[in-house]
Structure 1
Amino acid sequence: MTKFFLQIMGLGLLFGLLINQASAQDVQAPGNEQTVYISDDLYTFIHAGPGRNYRIIGSVVAGTPVTLLQRNDEEGFVEIIDDKERTGWVDNRFISATPSVRESVPQLEEALQQAQSDVAQTREQNDLLNQQILDLSSRNEQLQSRLQEIQQQHSDVQQELASIDNKVQIEWLTRGGIIGLGGIILGVILMLIPRKRRRNDNWM
């Protein structure tokens, strides 16, 4: 019985050594540090070793960016360096490769503020362009009105010139008629004036 018990103990120790070797192979080699984030829980504890049976050396608030040093997939823990430069192990379930809400919200707020600033600037530029369009429209209406005035003045001048030309023609015709009539009257008068008879010398 005692011999059988010792054999069982020996197999147990051998099995334990095999598990330790497998665990050592599962541990990520150091030197491949990367930035990861504590997931959106309230906080998680940092342990001195890869397991909950190791003493707690602190806690990390949710959303805090931490540096990943290595993984222990057998125990489900990862070794990190937190924002306070503490090195320890946390549960792998609380690690995320994407920024948490705590990390993303400030960036989203900054992007929102930038977008609002861009919108305000665009509105200001749009208002300025609308004002310029109104000014140009008003200027165009003034120019159109001035053009109509010039066209009306041009039409009036054309009519006045035509009227003057007609008056000149009538005046010339009138003068010509008067001169012609005067000539006719003068001719008639000359014809009516008796001519002097020539004296005939009578030699008889």
Structure 2
Amino acid sequence: MRKTLAGSAFLLSLLFAVGAPVKAQEFSISEDIYVYLVAGPGTQFRILGSVSAGTPVTPTGETQGDYVQITDDKGRTGWIKQDQLAQSESFRLAVPRLNQQVDNLQQQLQQQQQQNSQLLSQVEQLNSQLEDGQRSAMNVEADLKTNLDALSIENEQLKRENKSMKNNERWQWLQQGGMVAGGGLLVGLILAYLPRPQRRRKSQGGWV
């Protein structure tokens, strides 16, 4: 019985800790197995019946000596000793209710843990997607940089080739111009050294 009372007291304290309401001014039979309901305030009166421990009762307000008059849950009015009346909710009623509340709290805790686990899983998935996106962006950036470097190198090569082609064109023009000038000079020299035809002199009798 003491162990039961200790366990019940612990559960009741747990209920107070979570702020569960307890009915005020509620009377019940104390934690004996049962008590006898007698017709008057004393053991000499006949027994009306027994009232189990934890049964809610209502005091009528009449008291005599160590006895108090009550009305039980069956509507019977009789007397019991005052120390057999507890002005609180019976542990026999409180314990099942407290156990049910503990079960409800455990279920709520499990549901909350499941929700937290789902949220954590979603956050991990989002982080994984974000990391994949960052890696993909870094790869794209690296590819763009590589392509840009290759284009820069190709551009420099094209510049050098273009410059080389322009130099070749100028050299060809110079060569062609020099050949033309040399050919003209050669032709001029040849013409200058060719013998000129002599004209016949006109005499009296005709041309000489």
TM-score range, shorter chain: 0.7 to 0.9
Q: Which of these residues, 144, 151, 156, is aligned with residue 134 of structure 2?
A: 144
Equivalent in the alignment of 2:178: 188
Equivalent in the alignment of 2:28: 37
Distance in 2 (alpha carbons) for counterparts of 1:100 and 1:87: 20
Aligned pair count? Answer: 170
Equivalent in the alignment of 1:10: none
Distance in 1 (alpha carbons) for counterparts of 2:31 and 2:56: 12
Letter in 2 for 1:191: A
Query: Secondary structure of the residue that 1:59 maps to in structure 2?
Result: strand
Query: Secondary structure of the residue that 2:89 maps to in structure 1?
Result: coil
Query: Secondary structure of the residue that 1:159 maps to in structure 2?
Result: helix
Letter in 2 for 1:184: L
Letter in 2 for 1:84: K
Distance in 2 (alpha carbons) for counterparts of 1:42 and 1:85: 20
- 8 Å CA contact 1:47, 1:88 repeated in 2: yes
| Offset of residue 150 of structure 1 | 0.7
TM-score, normalised via structure 2 length: 0.74
| Offset of residue 102 of structure 1 | 0.3
Equivalent in the alignment of 1:89: 79
| Offset of residue 202 of structure 1 | 8.9
| Offset of residue 84 of structure 1 | 1.4
Equivalent in the alignment of 1:98: 88
Structure 1 unaligned blocks of 5 or more: 1-33
Distance in 1 (alpha carbons) for counterparts of 2:45 and 2:198: 186
Q: Which of these residues, 49, 52, 57, is aligned with residue 61 of structure 1?
A: 52
RMSD: 2.2
| Offset of residue 201 of structure 1 | 9.9
- 8 Å CA contact 1:51, 1:75 repeated in 2: no
Are 2:66 and 1:70 equivalent residues in the alignment?
no
Letter in 2 for 1:190: V
- 8 Å CA contact 1:66, 1:80 repeated in 2: yes
Distance in 2 (alpha carbons) for counterparts of 1:201 and 1:166: 64
Distance in 2 (alpha carbons) for counterparts of 1:166 and 1:155: 16
Distance in 2 (alpha carbons) for counterparts of 1:140 and 1:168: 41
- 8 Å CA contact 1:35, 1:68 repeated in 2: no
Distance in 2 (alpha carbons) for counterparts of 1:143 and 1:94: 75
Letter in 1 for 2:34: Y
| Offset of residue 190 of structure 1 | 2.6
Distance in 2 (alpha carbons) for counterparts of 1:46 and 1:139: 75
Letter in 2 for 1:105: V
Q: Which deviates the most, 101-110 or 161-170?
A: 161-170
Letter in 1 for 2:45: Y
- 8 Å CA contact 2:26, 2:89 repeated in 1: no
Q: Which deviates the most, 85-94 or 49-58?
A: 49-58
The alignment-based identity, stated in percent, is: 28
TM-score, normalised via structure 1 length: 0.75
Structure 2 unaligned blocks of 5 or more: 1-24, 202-208
Query: Secondary structure of the residue that 1:90 maps to in structure 2?
Result: strand
Q: Which of these residues, 27, 40, 49, is aligned with residue 49 of structure 1?
A: 40
Distance in 2 (alpha carbons) for counterparts of 1:140 and 1:47: 79
Distance in 2 (alpha carbons) for counterparts of 1:139 and 1:122: 25
